[in-house]
Structure 1
Amino acid sequence: MGINTSNPSAALDIISNGNTLGTKALEVNNSDNSELFKIHNNGNTGINIGTSSPTDLWHVKTDIKHENLPVLSSPYSPLAVDAAGAAKVKPTSTQYFYFKRSSSFGNFSLYNTNVYTNIPFPAGSDVQGNTAGFGFGTDASGTVNAQSVSSISYLTIPEPGVYLFEMYQTAYCNGLPTTSSNTGQVAINTLFATAGNGSSVYSTNTIFRDYAIARRNASGGIHVNSYAYANPQKLVVAYQSTAANEKVALFVNYAGGDSYSTQSCFMNQPNGSDNYGYLIVTKL
């Protein structure tokens, strides 16, 4: 059977009588002549929306009942409704940032708890992935916990959310320490600090403390160069960003024990590793 067509291609074939957005191919009314169901020329279908035109492929007013729905598997997200009321299912992707350092970073001292050394994570080939859309920048000068620091390399978080930061690197210092304590160790802080968009005033959110083990060479054997062994420096932070383009910067600073007043300390490449440290950020 064909309606508005002399050559039906189905048991019931209806052709719209026009090509405007308001043209309907099919309309069903109740006994009071109120529209219950309609299909417009553009394919949008409306149920119980009155005389309004459907604004999406499937436009329904009031409740819908679903039974025996299948469970969706990756890469699809569960059914959700956007701000306009449209129900949608779309592929999802993990938002992450992955930085793997390919060269040494260092020449800093470890002797004063009020001195902070920035850990840089610049844009470039060391960025292995950035689906989270992190930005990069450098503050020529700024403060960390009210202490002055120059050339602060930072990352910007483009949108609010909860992010898991995981950093790993190793530290060592050349030669004997400037001063020795009875600990036989150097206590080193790794700081996770944040600043608002447009600000260069950083405040500490989280501190991780690790210790450099004394009297070891690069292979771990006892040696007169006390701190040449690769000593792990770790940081794991779940951070909730509450505003767009918040700034994040990481620092190391001296926490106690033996000290190096000269710039004799570095982040190095452990034996057997293909990198000098990494930072992985995942949006949760």
Structure 2
Amino acid sequence: MKKIIFIGLILASAESFGQYGINTATPSATFDMVSKGNTAATKAFEINDSSGQELLKISDNGNLGVNIGNSLPTNVLHVKADIKHENLPVLLPPYSPLGVDASGAAKVQIAGTKYFYYKRTTSFGNFTLSNVNTYTNVPFTNGTDVKGNTTGFGFGTDASATVNGQSVSNVSYLTIPEPGVYLFEMYQTAYCTGSPTSSSNTGQIALNTVFATAGTSGTTYTTNTIFRDYIVARRSVGGAVNSASYAYANPQKLIVAYQSTSQNEKVALFINYVGGDSYNTQTCQMNMPNNSDNYGYLIVTKL
């Protein structure tokens, strides 16, 4: 009897050109249903299974819920469990089978890679290499040397800080804006001019490149990772043998995967003397290798 009455109501609202309306005498589509409300707290449409479990519903504000039980949908599309997409192409990274473009359209597109790219165009240095308790900061400043920064790294300077308990002034640092795993890759070259102040007869200087962290707001930096390289003696800038020269471009590298667990964590890089020959005067620098267009680079990729 209820079915007959319902069908009768639909037929009574039908216009001569085949449009049907519920709660409206003037349907504007083949089937036009007007809800009695306009908020997320009430429902305009609902489908249940034979046990009374709600399968599909539309709230009066337009939110659609699928398989979410008896709760109301809290978003425009609220789905519980997986959604299956057929006929999407099978792609490998860096392509994403389903992504969202700038206009909000879901489609196949290149997956975005967050990165930071710094290419140094000026030398830094005039530091000593003679004391294992001395740390020289590797500076990174916001400017034209930043070639890309989709990670959103920030920049800052601590006027005074400590590194492994040793005082350091004007520490240039980077801030990581969001938690995640980041791959840091740095390359630069070191040299010292003139003869060493003291010689251990090793013909080389052991040098650490230090990756250090200081939490989110502190000025106490502690070592996370060390890469050790050597400055080899008896070479001129061009590589020719010179008995009193450390002027050749000696590679100093750092590769570290760092897991950031908090927003805006501070990281900084330092040069630290380890042993071998020494220079207690400020005649050591990071230089530009022959035929290169930069004094080193840092590339950070969010994994």
Same fold (TM over 0.5): yes
Residue 82 of structure 1: aligned partner: none
Residue 20 of structure 1: aligned partner: 38
> TM-score, normalized by length of structure 1?
0.84
Give the drift of 1:2: 3.1
User: C-alpha deviations, 1:202-247, integer Å up to 9, x for none?
Assistant: 1111111111121111111112541111110001011112222221
User: C-alpha deviations, 1:48-79, integer Å up to 9, x for none?
Assistant: 55665422233345x45748563564553669
Give the drift of 1:95: 1.4
Amino acid at match of 2:237: A
Residue 124 of structure 2: aligned partner: 105
2:147 is the alignment partner of 1:128: yes
Contact in 1 for aligned 2:128/2:282 (Cα 8 Å): yes
The equivalent position to 2:215 in structure 1, one of 196, 205, 227, is 196
- Indicate the SS of the match to 1:76: strand
- Indicate the SS of the match to 2:96: coil
- Determine the C-alpha separation between the residues in 2 that align with 1:90 and 1:43: 27
Once the two structures are aligned, what percentage of the paired residues are identical?
60
Amino acid at match of 1:126: D
- Indicate the SS of the match to 1:198: coil
- Determine the C-alpha separation between the residues in 1 that align with 2:199 and 2:75: 73
Contact in 1 for aligned 2:187/2:296 (Cα 8 Å): yes
2:259 is the alignment partner of 1:250: no
Amino acid at match of 1:235: L
- Determine the C-alpha separation between the residues in 1 that align with 2:51 and 2:279: 89
- Determine the C-alpha separation between the residues in 2 that align with 1:53 and 1:238: 43
Give the drift of 1:14: 2.3
The equivalent position to 2:96 in structure 1, one of 76, 98, 107, is 76
For these two proteins, the number of residue pairs brought into alignment is: 273
Q: Which moved more, 1:37-46 or 1:194-203?
A: 37-46
Residue 2 of structure 1: aligned partner: 20
Unaligned runs of 5+ in 2: 1-18, 100-105
- CA 1:192–1:6 in structure 2 vs 1: closer, same or farther (change >3 Å)? same
- Determine the C-alpha separation between the residues in 2 that align with 1:170 and 1:20: 67
2:280 is the alignment partner of 1:261: yes
User: C-alpha deviations, 1:181-221, integer Å up to 9, x for none?
Assistant: 22111111111111112211111111111111211111111
Unaligned runs of 5+ in 1: 80-87
The equivalent position to 1:211 in structure 2, one of 227, 230, 253, is 230
Give the drift of 1:18: 5.6
The equivalent position to 2:205 in structure 1, one of 171, 186, 189, is 186
Q: Which moved more, 1:173-182 or 1:267-276?
A: 173-182
- Determine the C-alpha separation between the residues in 2 that align with 1:204 and 1:250: 9
Give the drift of 1:260: 0.7
Q: Which moved more, 1:184-193 or 1:12-21?
A: 12-21
Name the larger-Rg structure: 2
